[in-house]
Each structure stands twice: as structure tokens, then as C-alpha cells.
A and B are shown apart, each in its own frame.
Chain A
Amino acid sequence: MFGLILRRLMASIPTLLAVVFLSFFLMRFAPGSPFDGERPLDPETRLALDAAYGLNQPIIVQFGRYITGLAHGDFGPSLVYRDFTVTDLIWTGLPVSLLIGALALLLAMAGGIAIGLAATLRPNGPLDRSLMLCMTLLTALPTFVTGPILALVFALWLGWLPVAGWGDGAPVYLVLPVLALTLPTMGAVAKLTRAGLAQIMTQDHIRAAQGRGISGWRLIARHALRPALLPVISYAGPAAAGLLTGAVVIETIFALPGLGRYFVQGALNRDYPLVMGVVTLYAALIVLFNLIADVLYGWLDPRVRG
């Protein structure tokens, strides 16, 4: 198990380096500069600014310095939010993004698995069919459509919940963003659970267990559920990544002070260190999620443990 984790971590280093490399050079080859404001700067100020942030050095040197900083946990200064380092900005935005992301992931997993189980009770019955149709609808609904529509119905028309905003993390402000983020992933999890169970229930070891007089919930819980959840677990890593990306939209729609908003703003303003910092962080998070999914997979399936 430790070997597996270690190998995974080693294998993720090239991926992370590739992300840093790609985003670094993409940003630098782009036209425009972080200091293009409302009016053009005079050339001297411009040169001074470039020198202050090291932008006048050869690009390879800049990249090397960035990597060195990164290795020490230093993401560099923000070029647009002048008095902040990227690390400061990440620490303000990350808790918000992580909170809604984690809540959505938990809800999607719990809800999806429960719905998948309920649908399996009577395969191809009316409950199964209608639930699965609903789940397909959910997976097909983009968050940027469900988000505004949820806000329209529950905030504007019914007035039960606030339209947008953070409200210092008060629970009522979280309901709509988390719900909009949860629904598509929940649909996918439910469908995977249902498909996994349907496939496992036809297998020999299930029939053998039935021969031993095990049936109903005990059969599913003891013999079917764990192998049936394997595809769900494989999906959980990419799903977590998808939730992080989806959070960008949700944060825009519901005006939440998360990382996604900093990212979009940073990209538009050419705030190189900020954009790079967010991309690198997210890549690292995705690697971490996939690692957790692998470990869970090993727990569910002894064959992987070897």
C-alpha cells in the first residue's frame, strides 16, 4: 500500500511540472502586460516596474526562479493586487472554494449512492426507470443554467434564500451554490452505482451467496456493494476535479469570494503569479484527489493490493 502511494506521488511530479511549465510559458507569450491599466505608463516607470518584479530577465531565468520559489512554498507576489502575495490571496480564497467543493462532493456521493441503491431494489421497475431518467437529466444540466434558475425560483420568486453573496459563510448562503454544484455529480454517481450493482448482481459469487440463503439487503450490503462501488471510486477523483472547475462558475454566479474568481480576474489582468499559483494548486489538489481515490480503491478491492 505504501509502495503504491509512493509510486503515485512520484508519478505525479512530472504532471505537476508540466502544468507549471505550460501555464508559465503560455502566460508569458501572451500579448499584453500586467501593468496595462486605464492609461499607458510612461516607459521609465514601466522599466522600473519590470525590473522590480524581475520581468526584464531572460525568461528561462524567470522560470528557474519561479520553480525555486515554488519548492520553498513561495508563489511570489501578486502583480495586480499590489500589497498581497499570491499565498495571501490563496489563503483567503481557498477555504471558500474547498468548503463548497467538499460539501458538494459529500452530498453527491451520499445522495448518488443512496439513489442508485433505491433504483436497484426493483430492477427495471417504475421507480428504477423514473429515477434513472431524472439522473440522466441531472447529469446533462450545466451548472451555469441550474445555478441561475435555482436562484430565480428559490431566491427571487419564493424568497426563501438569499440570491447571492457569501454572508461570512452563513449556512443559508451556501444552500443554492452547493446544490447547483452537487446535482450533476450526484446524477453521475447514482447512474454508476446502479450500473455497477446491476452488473455485480449477475455474477457467480452472488448466486453462490444466494445458494447460502443470503438475500435482500444483506446480500447487497455484504456481497455486492463493495465491488459495485469500484467504478464510483474511479469516478470520484475526476469528479472532485470537475467540482473545483465547476466552482469557478458557481463563484461567479453567486458572487462568492473563492479562488475561481481570483483565477478568472487574474487571467484577464495578466497577473502571472496569481494565475500560475491557482493552476499549480489546483493541479496538486487533483493529483491528491486521485491518490485518495486510488487508496480507497485498494481498500475496496483486495486484488489491487496484490
Chain B
Amino acid sequence: MSRVLNALPAMLVLLILAAAWLLPPFLPWDYRIIDWDHVSSPALTPGHLLGTDSVGRDLLSRTLIGTRITTMVAIAAASVSLLIGTLWGALAGWCGGRIDNVMMRIVDALYALPFMFVVILLMVVFGRSILLVFIGIGAVEWLTMARVVRGQMLALRQRPFILAAEAAGASPRFIIFRHALPNMAAVILAYLLLTVPQVVMVESFLSFLGLGVQEPMTSLGILVKEGADDMDVFPMALLVPGGVLVTLVISLTLLGERLRDRWAA
């Protein structure tokens, strides 16, 4: 029983991802096509398993496509944050002293920015594109990764085996890539997993404000927004995409936390 419970988050994530990426071609209605005969129809309407939205588009199709976009943005943005954050943090932690001080001051300063506002500004200024969405989000999320990696690097630098490698004649590059980074890979992976739900939330948040991807493309945030607008007549439109979003975020958070607790200790 508890083994099933432990495996549940991973299974749910896989299930949602598989459905979002494999299922849409087999559904009777495309996410863009309006079914004039069924507008705001309830669940189990023929052809529309979960019903349709207020303009008659299939809710299941739209939710799956929205999930696809949201996860795509999340993975891309998490990768951006991984790349910048790891290099920045590893460099700061390795160099130490004044360089570390300056690099971390920059991170602190960026932390103090009301970053969501800057991202919103970016969206408004340069127009809405998926590319910008994930660059913007990745640029926010790398800060945490940089701090984590720097902390790990500082702690590792104190470990005698790093000093022993230096005594063995290893070059700094060899030490960073062959001794230090492999020893923090587990922690980095755990934080990467925790970054993904963060990104999902930020992307959905932007889309919710109408600053994310554009129609007819959709994302979970847009769907929640649309659902919230007419939840009084048709709660399904809020509950279905909201449920998928929440399930995804919770499962990823639980997974990431479990990995972090196991490896980071």
C-alpha cells in the first residue's frame, strides 16, 4: 500500500505527460475547431468526453494541448535555469573571495527585484512569444539554482578530497568537472525537479494575466483563466485544467522533495 502511494506522484506525472503528448491525434475534435452544435455542453456529450468551452471547443483536447505547451515551456525554462545557474554557482563557489562576493551580490540584487514585474514588462514590451516566456522564466529561476550550486561548491571545497585532488596535480577544470560536479549531481537533479513545478506556476500565472502564449494556442494558465471567467455556469471549465495543473505541480514537488531529502542530506 505505502509502496503504491510512494510511486503515485511519478505515475501521475508520467500519465499526464503521456496523455498530453500521445492522445490528441486520436480525439474526434481538434483543440482549435468549434463545434457549433455543442457550446458550453456538459461532460459526456457525444464526441466531447469532458464537454466543451463557452465557444464550443473540446475541453479535453484543449486541456491536453495546454498541458503540452505548459510542460514544454517548463522543461525548456528549467534547462535554461540549470545551465546558467550551475555555471554561475560553480564558478562563484570555486573562485571564492572577491569574485564570489561580486557574483553573489549580483544574484542578491536580482533576487530583490520584483521579478515577476520584470517578466511582465518583458512580455508587454517584446510581445508575447513562447521563446520569451521561457527565457524570461529561466532568467528568474536560475537564481535559486546558482545559490544551491554555489553552496554545494563551497561545502565541497572544504572537503579534503578536493584538496587531495589538487595535491595530486589536478587542474581546476579537472577538479570541477571530475570531482566536484559529479558529487553534487544528485542535489542539482533534485532542485531541477523542484524548479519544474515553479516554472509551471510562473508560466500559468503569466498566461492567466493574458501575457503568456496567444490564441489559438493555449496553456493550462489560459484555460484556468477562461474557466474562472464562466465558472458560475460551467464549473468543469475551471476544475478540469485546474485539476491537471494542480496534480502536475504537486506530483513534481513531492518527487523533487523526496529526491532532495534523500540525496541532499
Q: Closest A residue to B225 by CB, please name it.
A: A144
Question: Whole-angstrom distance between the alpha carbons of A26 and B126 in the complex?
Answer: 9
**Contact at A245–B231, with CB atoms within 8 Å?**
no
**Contact at A267–B204, with CB atoms within 8 Å?**
no
What 0/1 readout, one digit per residue, does chain B (223-241) give for beta carbons within 8 Å of chain A? 0110110011001001100
Question: Whole-angstrom distance between the alpha carbons of A38 and B112 in the complex?
Answer: 37
Contact A248-B209, Cβ < 8 Å, known A22-B118, A140-B249: yes
**Contact at A144–B221, with CB atoms within 8 Å?**
yes
Q: Which residues of B contact A287 (CB under 8 A)?
A: 112
**Contact at A156–B231, with CB atoms within 8 Å?**
yes
Q: Does B208 contact A (CB under 8 A)?
A: yes
Question: Whole-angstrom distance between the alpha carbons of A282 and B114 in the complex?
Answer: 7
Contact of B124 among A30, A142, A147 (CB under 8 A): A30
Q: Does A58 contact B (CB under 8 A)?
A: no
Question: Whole-angstrom distance between the alpha carbons of A199 and B238 in the complex?
Answer: 41
**Contact at A148–B125, with CB atoms within 8 Å?**
no
**Contact at A152–B231, with CB atoms within 8 Å?**
yes
Q: Does A292 contact B (CB under 8 A)?
A: no
Q: Does B113 contact A (CB under 8 A)?
A: yes
Q: Which residues of B contact A238 (CB under 8 A)?
A: 111
Contact A148-B109, Cβ < 8 Å, known A136-B257, A268-B124: no
Contact A142-B231, Cβ < 8 Å, known A19-B113, A248-B209, A249-B205: no
**How many of B's residues come within 8 Å of A, CB to CB?**
41
Q: Which residues of A contact B257 (CB under 8 A)?
A: 136
CB distance from B135 to the nearest CB of A (A): 14
**Contact at B122–A282, with CB atoms within 8 Å?**
no
Contact A263-B117, Cβ < 8 Å, known A26-B122, A144-B204, A156-B231: yes
Residues of A within 8 A of B (CB): 11-12, 14-15, 18-19, 22-23, 26-27, 29-30, 136-137, 139-142, 144-145, 147-149, 151-152, 156, 238, 241, 244-245, 248-249, 252-253, 263-264, 267-268, 275, 278-279, 282-283, 286-287, 290
Residues of B within 8 A of A (CB): 105, 108-109, 111-118, 120-122, 124-126, 197, 201, 204-205, 208-209, 221, 224-225, 227-228, 231-232, 235, 238-239, 242, 245-246, 249-250, 253-254, 257
Known A-B contacts: A144-B224, A149-B238, A283-B114. Give 19 more (CB < 8 A).
A12-B112, A15-B109, A26-B122, A27-B121, A29-B125, A136-B257, A140-B197, A141-B246, A142-B204, A142-B249, A144-B221, A145-B224, A152-B235, A245-B115, A245-B117, A248-B116, A253-B228, A263-B120, A267-B124
